[in-house]
Structure 1
């Protein structure tokens, strides 16, 4: 075990940027309005488990079913693209048959532990010690939990107009991330 505080901080910041829980606040608020209750604990724990599992067996699982990391990232880009379109245009593309609560889908996966996050974990694994990446996942999941738990308070502070503005801004940012993820990985697929 090789704890490195610098690696933990760097990996935490990278994961924080990719997970983008702050940018997901409008989606979380919408989900809470649709289902009435967000299971913050369950979503955070399931996302953490998915991320840690993928850290250890992600490449093997993808290889087993004949999918390379670049194809997985392109698929993730499409998911992010459609989420961004929902945010920007105010339309609903993702439909769940009368969800009672929001926890595993779409919060834990694909919002928190989506294809972009999974791809990032595989990249981090080649540069950092596994224990430091696990610590970074833990730090991010604590922050995710706090944001999920306080989404009602955040909504009150921002108000409906503020939420709409944040939704549009982060929708465009999410769209840009989707395009970048797509462009980078589509090139690697054909080279």
Structure 2
């Protein structure tokens, strides 16, 4: 049975972990590289990953002999690379001229930005406190927010301007590096993620 208090709590927790507003500079940066981001496909791919992890996450990782901590460290390394790229102005994720915008929409937007290690491990953790149905509704609400933000990046880019985006990109680059280090430390030393 749906519980609105649980849904609200799950939605807020996932919203803070996904941090789609903080990912705006990354999305804009990627769009400049590949020309276009398919918001719908990125949102659907992230949604499929999140729901899949809700249903069978631990089992999938177990099949490959991967622990939640190992998964978190891998995601942290990708997030770290994205943050370094934003701060240093270097290009680690080089656009593949033959790659479609679909692949750019899925990696790194759907994974690890939206449905990253922090999000997926949080979903596994939420199962201990909330019912699966309420978590699923919280995921869907967050996906709607993510889609709206991804669709409005052109408008946000125009409003912020080149200088505003550059400052924002560097600030969020530092935040991404910090999140990556926190996930890495938590997974490596204490077995806890965000």
Q: TM-score, normalised by structure 1?
A: 0.93
Q: Which residue of 2 aligns with 1:64?
A: 63
| Structure 1 residues 136-175: Cα deviation after superposition (integer angstroms, max 9, x where no partner) | 1111111110111111000000111111111111111111
Name the CA distance, whole Å, in 1 between partners of 2:89 and 2:12.
30
Shift of 1:96: 3.7
Name the CA distance, whole Å, in 1 between partners of 2:34 and 2:79.
21
Q: Which residue of 2 aligns with 1:167?
A: 169
| Structure 1 residues 69-119: Cα deviation after superposition (integer angstroms, max 9, x where no partner) | 111111111111111111111111112422331322221122211112111
Aligned residues: 188
Name the CA distance, whole Å, in 2 between partners of 1:126 and 1:165.
39
Give 3-state SS (helix, strand or coil) of 2:53's partner: helix
2:10 paired with 1:11: yes
2:145 to 123, 143, 146: 143
2:110 to 87, 103, 108: 108
Alignment of 1:1-191 (within 5 A): 2-98=1-97, 99-101=99-101, 102-188=104-190
How big is the alpha-carbon RMSD for the aligned residues of Structure 1 and Structure 2? 1.3
Name the CA distance, whole Å, in 2 between partners of 1:156 and 1:148.
14
Unpaired segments ≥5 residues, structure 2: none
Name the CA distance, whole Å, in 2 between partners of 1:14 and 1:87.
26
Unpaired segments ≥5 residues, structure 1: none
Name the CA distance, whole Å, in 2 between partners of 1:174 and 1:4.
33
| Mean CA deviation greater in 104-113 or 136-145 | 104-113
Name the CA distance, whole Å, in 2 between partners of 1:87 and 1:14.
26
| Mean CA deviation greater in 45-54 or 89-98 | 89-98
Shift of 1:133: 0.8
